[in-house]
Amino acid sequence: MDTERKIYGLLETVEQQQKSLEIAAHALEATRAALRTLVDEIHSAATHGASVAAAQAVAELVAGAAAPTVKHLNQIAASAAQVESKFRRAAAWVTWQYLALVGTGCATLMLAVWVAVSWQRQELTELREQKAALEAQIAPLKSAVDELVQKGGKIKFNVCGNDRRKCAKVNMGMGTFAKGGENYMILDGY
């Protein structure tokens, strides 16, 4: 923001210098018109017999009268040149600042994209490894399920009692069986 204020300040100074130049240009034009009139009068006087010394005296008088205006114009032109130089330097500095800002933004964006893509590649590699490990487990699990079905995999388990213990559904209509002093019942589904 400070650089922008400086640029606006320089622009205002340039506008003021331009107005001063316009005023000085009008003054110079008026001086030139007066000088033309005076020169015409000198020529007229010279043709009517005026002396060369009188013409030189008038020319020196005119040069003396125009000298302050010319000096002021030279000062204004030098001041305008300085302001223009400062303005060009400030504009160049602002341009480089914006280019640096844009470059930094692009570099940051590229780094963020690179990090995100790298992270996703790593995640994808891990998921592929997990998929391969799970696929390797499918065949043994299928054979274990088939074996359970053959050995009683149709058993329905639940949680029973206040202490929430595991229990199985039994077929009461099949009766109870004793073997080795223990009682057994047929599970439901067999």
**Residue 69 near residue 31 (C-beta atoms within 8 A):** yes
Judge whether residue 103 has pLDDT over 80. yes
Q: Which residue has the higher pLDDT, 60 or 93?
A: 93
Q: Report which of residues 91 and 113 the model is more confident about.
A: 113
Residue for token pair 């003054």: 27
Res 30 pLDDT > 80 = no
In terms of Cα–Cα distance, which of 23, 162, 8, 22 is closest to 87?
Answer: 8
Joined together, the tokens standing for residue 80 give 């305008």
Mean pLDDT computed over 79-90: 79
* Single pTM value for the model: 0.37
Q: What is the mean pLDDT of the chain?
A: 80
